[in-house]
Each structure stands twice: as structure tokens, then as C-alpha cells.
Chains A and B, each alone.
Chain A
Amino acid sequence: GEDVEQSLFLSVREGDSSVINCTYTDSSSTYLYWYKQEPGAGLQLLTYIFSNMDMKQDQRLTVLLNKKDKHLSLRIADTQTGDSAIYFCAEGVRDNFNKFYFGSGTKLNVKP
């Protein structure tokens, strides 16, 4: 099986940067994703990065990928209270059927 691991909690102050980390094990992953889940809702795709890229920036979001160490991070600049949610890392694995493996999620708490 494939393991995708994340720390469970992160607490930051409003206006600070948040960095959420993820490690994965499958070297055949092709895309890596970050999803956001707000209370009582489904997962919403935030951003994704192709596995041959090192970095992707999208407004306040920066994704960094270290393929050698199989480490993915999501940086949220100027974190707002509306960013409080659970963030899931997921990897897409090339297969006959393209499979996705999700981490257990990191709960981000933003203090005013």
C-alpha cells in the first residue's frame, strides 16, 4: 500500500504564514494534491503539482515538492481565520486505474 502522512494539528496567528507538511512513499506518483475540508463539507481542491516540478505558486499558496525525500509542503501566506480547516495531502499514482491516496489531514487553527 501507499502511505501518506501528515501531522494532525497546526495552530498559527492571523497574519502569520502556515506551513503544512506531508510525506508519501510511492515513487510512481504523478501528481500531488492539496485539498481543504471545512466543517460539514466535502473536500475542495486547492492546488496540485506535477511530480517533475519543484514549486508552484498560486496567490497566497505555495507548494514545494522534494521528490528525493518524498516531501510535500503547502505554505499559506498571510493566514486568515477563514483558512481554518482540515488540509489533506493526496497523491495520484499512475496505474491502470489512476488511484488517489489521502493523508489523514492536518487541522489548521488560525487564532485572531
Chain B
Amino acid sequence: NAGVTQTPKFRILKIGQSMTLQCTQDMNHNYMYWYRQDPGMGLKLIYYSVGAGITDKGEVPNGYNVSRSTTEDFPLRLELAAPSQTSVYFCASSRDRGSNQPQHFGDGTRLSIL
């Protein structure tokens, strides 16, 4: 079982460039999430989705966009990369809404903006 798969694992971008971080899950989970983890900090929720075709903003959505055309995929797009977006990005999924449904995480994408 692959679980949650993120690509790429590492990326360096120049200021102003754009890119898409890919996330896919094979567990048929309805809920998917994008977090960023800054050094010494906890995870901050960027965007989430409760099902295909439905997305909503989390705590720190500025500078990002998402889409959810299928249950499996939840890509995160950076349109104009800024140094403040240097971070480790984690995608996660959970089966359902209940808070007893733990989130399953990918291994992360380490992104540097120079």
C-alpha cells in the first residue's frame, strides 16, 4: 500500500517562478490536506478538501492554490514563488470527518525559494 505519495521530494525555485506540488493517495480517502512546516514550528494548514470538486482555505492560504478533480489527487500550486514560501510541505489524507479519523501523511516536499 503506497498511502500518500508526494512528488517531488526536493525542489529549488527562483523568486517569481511557479510550480505544482503533487499529492496522490490510494486509500480512497475523502479528506485531503496541505500543510507547511517551518523550522522549529508545528504544521500550518494551507488548504483542505472534503471531497472531489470541493476545496477550502486553511490558516495560511495566501500565495497558493489547489484543485481536487479526483478523489486521489490534490495538487498544490505556487504561482509566484517568494522566499517566505521556503518550507517543507506535507500532504495528508483522512477517511472521514470525525476527529477519530487520523491523518495519514506523505514524506514531504522540501522547497527552497532563492
Tell me the A residues contacting B by CB distance below 8 Å: 1, 4, 8, 29-31, 33, 35, 40-45, 48, 50, 88, 92-94, 97-105
Q: Which secondary structure dominates chain B's binding surface?
A: loop
Q: How many residues of B contact A (CB 8 A)?
A: 25
| Complex Cα–Cα for A41 and B106 (A) | 8
Sample of 17 more A-B contacts, CB < 8 Å, known A4-B42, A33-B102: A30-B100, A31-B100, A42-B4, A42-B92, A43-B90, A43-B105, A45-B104, A48-B100, A48-B102, A98-B97, A98-B98, A100-B45, A100-B99, A102-B35, A103-B42, A104-B40, A105-B42
Given that A88-B42, A99-B45, A102-B43 are known contacts, is A44 also in contact with B105, CB under 8 Å in the complex?
yes
B87 interface residue per 8 A CB criterion: no
B50, B99, B106, B107: the one within 8 Å of A94 (CB): B99
Tell me the B residues contacting A by CB distance below 8 Å: 4, 35, 40-43, 45, 48, 50, 56, 59, 90, 92, 97-108
